[in-house]
Every structure is written in structure tokens, then in C-alpha cells.
């Protein structure tokens, strides 16, 4: 249940005529039909579906000895079956486009009788009031377990698979007003809410004793609301070049009342260690940037925003200043072929809480550089290859000497090969690789996922 698989299935959107439609961003193929239904059926092999390290401690309680005992665990592998029906529709009139899609995905793991289910809904409204005033609204709602599905953009706060019905909802509004012939004003607002099912303290035993250590739930670590307001001025320097000067204000508020570090946890005996609830990581962010949008050719387009980010963690009386970059290059280099290359550097949330020890300093967030590249290439009239690669290189902010400045990198590679028997029926095979490489103990893992299946679309 990753982005490259779940988005490929929705390939038939649109209505009849390109000339008569208001259809920004839609391809001719997407405009060939007002609605579509499709279903994917795949068999797969997953060698680490719980995203566990190569070896990790498992602590169990031995009541006869009145103590906890630690053994070594290893990743679990399984064959399985995946079923993914989907539906999509759009409606276009003279100056308005409305579109929506829904994807349901179920994976059943044979060896362990486990089942994953995800739901993805996406909606979009584009309206052109006049040549000078345009409005864009979008909505994305997800219930999932896989980190690449839950993530709202290129950066991933939770690189591990998480059990349960975990929710992410993202809404975005953008309004553009033409001030003069050469200047536009853009206003934007985005709101993303995360809610994880796991709540309450998780207890882990200390080997050789009858004592336990409390660990925070996924809800305590990751439940939050992220808001981002944007205002920028756009100068049409030439028909191909637009210069941009802008400001963004971001607010991240953690919504769980639980502790991320419990009172006394990991503290030396002589220290009266306080606890920290999730709100200690609340922050305000201020971005100032310049940028440009450039049409190098009719098919090659680039975009860049570069500047600085100031983050104020007001509850912990801390702050950070760092670079801010968001750049991408997109090329529709041949009919049926497209590629994208991008990089983004920003602060983002993390599922790592830190440890008190003698520092009394939780991890506040992480600073990440995400580099991504994708290509969809039509090898022949019937064969299409799709490749996606992404690397997220992160360092932790806060947490004391055991965490602050430590690195954690997350890598993704996804390859899909499809053979089209007809426009409505195809077979596909693919391979997905993911790897988390962390300076922290018991987090590094690798995962290989291979599949073969059929897709029918009506």
C-alpha cells in the first residue's frame, strides 16, 4: 500500500472534449472518460511486513522467576494476497473542474493470518472566476498502516509500519489574484491532522528484574495538527519566467494529553526527573523565501523556493534557524513519458521521543532533506515502466547528547512494469524496497516487497 501502486490504478478521469473543458492539470487520457472503476488483484511476498530490525530484543515476564527475560527476535516474512478496488469521477464545466477518487486496499498475509486495510479518498475543486481570479481546493483523507501512505508529502515522520486505523486528513486552499498585468498575489492555507489508534502507556520489562519501563504510544508521539499559511507576490518577468517573493507561517500543535517521556523514566536515582507531555514539542515556524517558476520548453518546467526557516518551540523555550528549500523539475519528454526530480529541506515531526537521562531534554523534531526522482516511460505501445526513488536524510533536534544531531535516513525504491493487453486490462509486476538506517539502537531495518497481478478498468 504505497503511493506508486495506489495512484497508478486511477488512470481514466475526465469528460469528452479538450477544447470545451476547463481541466487544469488533466492529461488527455484522464479526460477521455467522466468516471472509471478499476480493481487490482495481486499475489505478493513481503520479507519484513512489521518493519522490524534484523535482530531486536523481546522481553517477556517469567512468573516463576518473578523477573523479565529478554530473547532475540527477527523479521517476519509472508506470502499474501492483495485486492484493491477503486473508483474515480470528475465533472468539468466552462470554468470549474470537480474530481474525486477512492481507493480501498486489503492485504492478507498467509503465514500469520494478518490483514491490513487502507482507505484513500482524494477530492479537488478548481474554479476560475475570471482571467484574474482563481481558486483551488483539495482534500485528502487516509486510513492506513504503511508510512508512505500516511505521509502527506515527501517527508515522513513515522518510517515504521503501525498497526491500527491510523488517520491522516489534509485540506488545502489556494487563491490567486491578478493585481496588474505583471503581478499576481497568491494566498494559501493548508491543514493536516494526524490521529493514531494506539493510545495509553506501553510497558516494557527490564531483564533480570520485575520492573517495567513505560514507553509512549504512537498517539502521544504523533497525534497533531499542522497548519501552514502562505502569502507570496509573483512577478511575470517574461512569458516563461515568474519570480516569487513569499512568507509562510506554520503552526504544529500536538493533540494528545499523554506523556512522551514519563516522570522518572531513565533518570539517575538521585535525580527527580520531570515528565514531558506531547505538547512540549508544539512549535511556530516562519519561512521567508525567494523563488522562480520557469518554463524551459513546452514540456520542461522547473520550480524553486529557497530561503530560511525559524522554528520557535515555545513550550520548551528553544528555537532553531535553518535553510529552507523546495525545488522540482518536471519533464513530459515524450508522449506517454514523464519524469520528475525534486529536493526539499525542512523541519518535520518525528516518532522519536528521546530520553531524559541527565539532560531533561526531549527530541523536538528532526531536520530533513528529502530527495526524490520518478519516471514513467512507455517502452512500447503495450509496456510501461515506472520507477520511484526517494531518500530522506534527517538529523534529530533536541534530546540531549544521545539524540541531538544523530542521523536517521529513510530510503525508498519502487519499480513497476505493466503490460497492457488493452486500454482496460493489464498485468503488472513490481518490486518495492525500503530501508531505515538509524544511529539509534533497534530501529534500522530493510524490507523487500515483490508482487505480480492483474488490473481491470471500466
Q: What is the pLDDT at residue 72? A: 79
- Going from the C-alpha of 303 to that of each of 242, 249, 306, the distances in angstroms are 9, 20, 10
Are 192 and 168 spatial neighbours (Cβ–Cβ below 8 Å)? yes
Q: What is the pLDDT at residue 285? A: 98
404 DSSP 8-state letter: T
Q: What is the pLDDT at residue 5? A: 37
Domain that holds residue 156: 3-457
Q: What is the pLDDT at residue 145? A: 95
Q: What is the pLDDT at residue 206? A: 63
Q: Cell 494566498 belongs to which residue?
A: 187
Q: What is the pLDDT at residue 351? A: 95
pLDDT tens profile 65-92: 767 777 778 899 999 999 999 999 998 8
Are 174 and 184 spatial neighbours (Cβ–Cβ below 8 Å)? no
Q: Which residues pair with 341 in a beta bridge?
A: 329, 373
For 162, list phi and psi in degrees, rounded to 5.
-125, 125
- Going from the C-alpha of 393 to that of each of 371, 387, 401, 447, the distances in angstroms are 8, 20, 19, 18
CATH of the domain at 13: 2.40.160
Dist CA 134 CA 281 (whole Å) = 36
Dist CA 394 CA 398 (whole Å) = 13
Dist CA 350 CA 401 (whole Å) = 17
Domain count, the chain: 1
Instruction: Please name the helix (run of DSSP H) or strand (run of DSSP E) that holds residue 118, with its range, or none.
Output: strand 114-128
pLDDT tens profile 403-446: 999 999 999 999 999 999 998 999 999 999 999 999 999 899 99
Q: What is the pLDDT at residue 322? A: 97
Which residues of the chain fall below pLDDT 70? Answer: 1-32, 66, 204-212, 264-273, 356-360
Across all residues in the chain, what is the average pLDDT? 88
Q: What is the pLDDT at residue 10? A: 35
Nearest to 173 by CA among 125, 141, 129: 125
Q: What is the pLDDT at residue 262? A: 85
Question: 210 in the Ramachandran plot: left (φ > 0), alpha (ψ -120 to 50) or beta?
Answer: alpha
Nearest to 446 by CA among 53, 79, 159: 53
Q: What is the pLDDT at residue 301? A: 97
| CA atoms within a 13 Å half-sphere pointing along the CA-CB vector of 445 | 21
Amino acid at each position: 500500500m504505497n503511493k506508486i501502486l495506489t495512484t497508478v490504478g486511477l488512470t481514466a478521469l475526465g469528460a469528452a472534449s479538450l477544447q470545451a473543458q476547463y481541466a487544469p492539470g488533466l492529461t488527455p487520457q484522464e479526460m477521455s472518460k467522466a468516471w472509471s472503476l478499476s480493481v487490482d488483484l495481486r499475489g505478493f511476498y513481503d520479507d519484513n511486513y512489521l518493519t522490524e530490525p534484523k535482530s531486536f530484543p523481546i522481553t517477556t515476564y517469567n512468573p516463576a522467576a518473578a523477573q523479565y527475560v529478554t530473547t532475540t527476535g527477527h523479521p517476519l516474512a509472508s506470502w499474501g494476497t492483495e485486492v484493491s478496488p477503486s473508483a474515480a469521477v470528475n465533472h468539468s464545466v466552462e470554468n470549474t473542474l470537480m474530481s474525486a477518487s477512492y481507493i480501498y486496499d486489503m492485504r492478507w498475509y498467509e503465514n500469520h493470518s494478518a490483514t491490513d486495510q487502507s482507505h484513500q479518498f482524494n477530492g479537488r475543486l478548481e474554479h476560475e472566476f475570471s482571467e484574474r481570479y482563481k481558486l483551488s481546493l483539495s482534500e485528502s483523507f487516509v486510513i492506513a498502516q504503511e508510512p508512505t501512505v500516511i505521509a502527506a508529502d515527501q517527508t515522513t515522520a513515522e518510517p515504521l509500519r503501525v498497526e491500527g486505523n491510523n488517520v491522516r486528513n489534509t485540506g488545502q486552499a489556494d487563491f490567486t489574484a491578478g493585481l496588474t498585468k505583471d503581478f499576481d498575489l497568491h494566498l494559501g492555507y493548508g491543514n493536516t491532522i494526524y490521529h493514531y489508534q494506539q493510545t495509553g502507556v506501553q510497558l516494557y520489562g527490564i531483564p533480570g528484574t520485575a520492573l517495567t519501563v513505560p514507553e509512549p504510544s504512537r498517539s502521544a508521539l504523533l497525534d497533531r495538527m499542522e497548519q501552514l499559511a502562505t502569502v507570496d507576490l509573483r512577478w511575470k518577468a517574461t512569458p516563461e519566467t515568474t519570480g516569487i517573493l513569499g512568507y509562510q507561517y506554520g503552526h504544529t500543535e500536538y493533540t494528545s494529553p499523554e506523556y512522551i517521556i514519563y516522570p522518572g523514566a531513565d533518570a539517575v536515582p538521585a535525580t527527580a526527573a520531570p515528565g514531558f507531555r506531547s505538547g512540549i514539542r508544539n512549535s511556530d515556524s516562519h519561512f521567508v523565501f525567494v523563488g522562480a517558476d520557469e518554463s524551459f520548453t513546452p514540456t520542461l518546467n522547473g520550480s524553486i523556493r529557497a530561503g530560511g526557516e525559524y522554528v520557535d518551540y515555545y513550550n520548551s523555550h528553544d528555537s532553531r534557524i535553518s535553510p529552507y528549500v523546495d525545488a522540482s523539475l518536471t519533464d513530459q519528454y515524450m508522449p506517454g513519458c514523464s519524469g520528475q526530480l525534486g529536493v526539499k529541506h525542512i523541519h518535520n515531526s518525528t516518532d522519536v521521543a528521546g530520553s531524559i537521562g541527565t539532560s531533561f531534554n526531549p527530541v523536538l523534531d528532526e531536520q530533513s532533506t528529502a530527495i526524490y526522482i520518478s519516471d514513467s516511460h512507455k517502452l512500447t505501445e503495450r509496456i510501461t515502466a515506472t520507477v520511484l526513488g526517494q531518500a530522506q536524510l534527517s538529523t534529530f533536534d533536541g534530546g540531549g547528547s544521545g539524540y541531538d544531531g544523530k542521523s536517521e535516513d529513510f530510503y525508498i525504491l519502487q519499480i513497476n512494469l505493466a503490460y497492457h493487453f488493452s486500454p482496460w486490462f493489464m498485468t503488472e509486476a513490481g518490486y518495492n524496497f525500503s530501508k531505515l538506517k538509524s544511529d539509534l539502537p533497534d530501529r534500522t531495518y530493510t524490507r523487500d516487497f515483490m508482487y505480480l497481478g492483474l488490473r481491470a478498468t471500466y
